[in-house]
Amino acid sequence: MKQVITFGEIMMRLSPPLNQRLGQASSLDVTYGGGDANVAAGLAHLGVPAAHVGCFPDNAVGQAAAQHFRGHGVDMQHCVFRGERLGLYFLEVGASLRASRIVYDRADSAFANLQPNWFAWDKILQDAGWLHWTGITPAISAAAAQATGEAIAAARHRGLTVSADVNYRRNLWQYGQRAQDVMPALVAGCDLVVCTEGDAEDLFGIRPEPGTENSFVSMSEQLQARFPTIKQVIATRRDTQSASHERIKGIAYSAGAYHETDFFDINPVVDRIGGGDSFISGFIYGQLTGLALPAALAFATAASALKHTIVGDINLVTAAEVEHIVAGNTSGRLLR
């Protein structure tokens, strides 16, 4: 199987243990993650060769972040170690009606200060079959946006499949360009996009029809009309009961047809960070292993549901474990 390549920022995540608030913590749990790198790591655990491309400060903090992903089986050989700091964020884990809360401290990171010419995409992509990126990356800096564009162009040129998690975070776009001006050109190079109606409206001015299913279909059709390379649009629907209780299902539009899974019930949620990323790595896995769309969507959604029970950003599950859930084994009976 050919490698999947992801590109984006990896941050340090610092959280007070259990449900403590920051002011009462005398230690912080530390892990590392990023919306794109999590996809790579999830794929590696599913058995798909994956490499991540990013940029880290050349110090012990940057090395620790890279080591973390290397341990999870991600090929980090194309990463650049240059710059001053690793972006980081503080996560207070909520419970029940108290939401989890993130305080970002990511400005001016090594990744934000990357130079596009540090990445020789033709070489990086030479053995790869798939490129995945998220809308967070072009939001970070003009250079990051440019590098994303170059990666996509190189990927298309070499015939790779390109996927994007549109993921519009308004308050990230601070460097002087508007998402609405940057994103269309990037999405125009994609085969598969993860996109919600809200993001489609905010970024591309698409107005979906009302109705849960209708709105997704209508949005997908308009996306395809505008960006003809897009073959599939997927998303998750969350029916969030509380910070501790989540229900998710997967939806997809492909070849003119709408698909959805049943809801998966996750109670309690152990860690919901990376839930969307694991949906994507599950779907890519399905595509690469030749699953039909409904099966790929079921696999992706089951993978995402499992992720909610895993500590950290990365989905530490095997393909067999996901298939066990897909087969209906959701009652959690002890496995000896």
Q: Are the C-beta atoms of 236 and 304 separated by less than 8 Å?
A: yes
Q: Which one, 16 or 189, has the nearer CB to its own copies?
A: 16
Q: Name the token pair of 143.
A: 């250079």
HSE toward the beta carbon, residue 232, CA cutoff 13 A: 20
The one among 201, 229, 245, 291 contacting its own copies by CB under 8 A: 245
Q: Which one, 107 or 257, has the nearer CB to its own copies?
A: 107
- Residue 249's CB is within 10 A of a number of other CB atoms, namely 19
Q: Which one, 129 or 276, has the nearer CB to its own copies?
A: 276
- Residue 120's CB is within 10 A of a number of other CB atoms, namely 12
- Closest distance of CB 185 from its own copies, Å: 26
Q: Which among 61-69, 125-133, 154-162, 207-215 is the span making contact with its own copies, rule CB under 8 A?
A: 61-69
- Residue 29's CB is within 10 A of a number of other CB atoms, namely 16
Q: Name the token pair of 286.
A: 């399905």
Decide if residue 327 touches its own copies (CB under 8 A): no
Q: Which among 60-68, 156-164, 213-221, 251-259 is the span making contact with its own copies, rule CB under 8 A?
A: 60-68
Q: Which one, 58 or 209, has the nearer CB to its own copies?
A: 58
- Closest distance of CB 45 from its own copies, Å: 9
Touching its own copies, residues 161-180 (CB under 8 A): 169
Touching its own copies, residues 84-103 (CB under 8 A): 84-86, 88, 90, 92, 94-103
Q: Which one, 236 or 254, has the nearer CB to its own copies?
A: 236
Q: Which among 141-149, 189-197, 262-270, 282-290 is the span making contact with its own copies, rule CB under 8 A?
A: 262-270
Q: What sign has the CA pseudo-torsion 218, 219, 223, 226? A: positive
Integer distance in angstroms from the first to the last C-alpha of the chain? 31
Contacts of residue 326, Cβ cutoff 8 Å, sequence gap at least 6: 295, 298, 299, 302
The one among 210, 228, 256, 332 contacting its own copies by CB under 8 A: 332
The answer for 317, left when phi > 0, alpha when psi is -120 to 50, beta otherwise, is beta
Q: What is the rounded CA–CA span in Å between residue 220 and residue 260?
A: 14
The one among 269, 298, 303, 326 contacting its own copies by CB under 8 A: 269
Q: Which one, 255 or 334, has the nearer CB to its own copies?
A: 334
Locate the DSSP E strands across 261-327. Answer: 264-266
Residue type at 222 in one-letter notation: Q
Q: Are the C-beta atoms of 243 and 98 separated by less than 8 Å?
A: yes
- Closest distance of CB 303 from its own copies, Å: 11
- Residue 219's CB is within 10 A of a number of other CB atoms, namely 25
- For its own copies (CB under 8 A), the number of binding residues is 80
Binding mask 275-314 for its own copies (x = CB under 8 A): ------------------------------xx-xxxxx--
Phi/psi of residue 238, each to 5°?
A: -105, 130
Locus of tokens 């694991």: 278
Q: Which one, 126 or 267, has the nearer CB to its own copies?
A: 267
The one among 207, 257, 268, 327 contacting its own copies by CB under 8 A: 268
